Homo-oligomer: A and B are copies of this chain.
Amino acid sequence: MICEIVAVGTELLLGQIVDTNSSWLGEQLALSGIDNLRQVKVGDNHGRIVAALREALERSDAVIVCGGLGPTQDDITREAIAAVLGVPLVADEAVAARIAAMFEARGRRMPANNLRQAEVPEGAMAIADPQPGTAPGLLCPVGPAGPDQKVIYAVPGVPYEMQAIVLGAVLPDLRRRSGDTSVILSRTLRTWGESESGLAERLADRIEELDRTGRATIAFLASGIEGLKVRLTVKAPDAATAREVLAAEEAELRALLGPLVFGVDADNMETVVAAQLEARGLTIALAESLTGGLMASRLTDVSGVSGVFVGGLVAYDSQVKFDLLDVPEGPVVSKPTAEAMAAGVRRLLGADVGLAVTGVAGPAEQDGLPAGTVFVGLAVGDDDPVSVELRLPGDRRRIREFTAIGALDLLRRRLLDRTADR
């Protein structure tokens, strides 16, 4: 089963919007075991959309066309599909009624243009309008029913509407047409602290075993500065088996990777740390120098974090460290300073845990230390504070971001160890 993607929109060609929809669609098709060999972007031009659809249909079994379904005169995907199929557009009364009802419910007059969204190429059907009144997706069979029938799916360009329609209707229909009744499940382990080649080495035997048995596949995905993802994908005859194999394989990977794994799927470092603190009934305060509030802003991005996060001090100027955190006067990029900051902010703000960073973000060196020299201090309860030195690569922004996530990771591992100690 081969499916191509055609993204429609002049703004995509002009670079005013980056086409993230096609990337998301490509990933979803791969996860569903459907080959996607080509993706095309064309502008809001009837002839060029028609040409792109015709060429894509020649090469493949299915085409997903994304964008151009809105109510304005620019939105001509419906007309282009009708031209490709050689059929007229006809009104879908059910869709028209839903759009009219939506405007009535909001007490607004419906512009006549909006009824264009209820038109469908003859023989096509509206699928899964996730929100009342928004453009539905279209499922447009090409040719007579049977094993040689091809299909064009039209989905809106608004990402969350597109995703809802693709997950709810397009992928299930594609899988059904492909004759593949198996169930595909995947889970992503988030890791921090090891390179891709390091992870590959740890998992080499397991990957070889899975290659041999075909029980599951493992893929490494970079996710920018946020560590590496290890994605486990399982294909099984039914959902129960798929879930069972996935759970067993996840356990195998976790045994091999240990504390390198900090979370799964939608977790990130700050949601994991916030949950750890909450589970242990601990509150935290942060003292930041080079990260300048980045750690605090990440942590407070977590909804409901006010139960564990007391506050933070951005001690950018050295004098602030001396005056408010009782750091001894002297060069401030050092282990003793990181420890004093951690203990100091814990006291100042009245928290159970103090986490602190000091270092050189660059571009210039400081006190003879090169950019990327960072010390992380941690004070938990009345224990003596501890600290760790990091040597980080990259430019100013990268060093700051690595420091923030690295410091949170240090806290995460310390909290894991404390649980293990008991």
CA–CA, A417 and B349, complex, Å: 36
Interface residues of A in 21-61 (CB under 8 A from B): 22-28, 30, 36-43, 45, 48, 52, 55
| Known interface pairs A16-B222, A296-B292, A349-B320; A311-B315 also in contact (CB < 8 Å) | yes
With an 8 Å Cβ cutoff, the count of chain A residues facing the other chain is 67
- Which of A25, A293, A303 is the most central at the interface, judged by chain B CB atoms within 10 Å of its CB? A293
Q: Is the CB of A48 within 8 A of B37?
A: yes
Does A400 touch B at the CB level, under 8 Å? yes
Does A390 touch B at the CB level, under 8 Å? no
Q: Is the CB of A317 within 8 A of B313?
A: no
Interface string of A295-315 (1 = CB under 8 A from B): 111011101001001111111
Q: Is the CB of B311 within 8 A of A313?
A: yes
Contacts of A312 in B (CB 8 A): 292-293, 313-314, 316
Q: Is the CB of A303 within 8 A of B221?
A: no
| Known interface pairs A297-B292, A303-B396; A43-B37 also in contact (CB < 8 Å) | yes
Contacts of A15 in B (CB 8 A): 22-28, 30
| Known interface pairs A300-B292, A306-B317; A16-B12 also in contact (CB < 8 Å) | no
Contacts of A293 in B (CB 8 A): 286, 288, 292-297, 300, 312, 314
CA–CA, A349 and B309, complex, Å: 21
| Known interface pairs A37-B43, A294-B297; A316-B310 also in contact (CB < 8 Å) | yes
- Choose one: B14, B24, B290, B316; the contact of A30 (CB below 8 Å): B14
Chain A residues packing against B (C-beta within 8 Å):
12-20, 22-28, 30, 36-43, 45, 48, 52, 55, 221-222, 286, 288, 290-297, 299-301, 303, 306, 309-317, 319-320, 324, 348-350, 361-363, 396-397, 400
| Known interface pairs A13-B26, A316-B311; A39-B40 also in contact (CB < 8 Å) | yes
Across the A-B interface, the 9 shortest Cβ-Cβ residue pairs? A292-B300, A15-B27, A293-B296, A293-B293, A312-B314, A293-B297, A15-B23, A294-B297, A15-B26
Q: Is the CB of A311 within 8 A of B320?
A: yes
- Choose one: B19, B30, B361; the contact of A19 (CB below 8 Å): B19
Contacts of A300 in B (CB 8 A): 290-294, 314, 316, 361, 400
CA–CA, A38 and B312, complex, Å: 50
Contacts of A18 in B (CB 8 A): 18-20, 23
- Choose one: B23, B38, B316, B396; the contact of A306 (CB below 8 Å): B316
Minimum distance in angstroms from A382 CB to a CB of chain B: 21
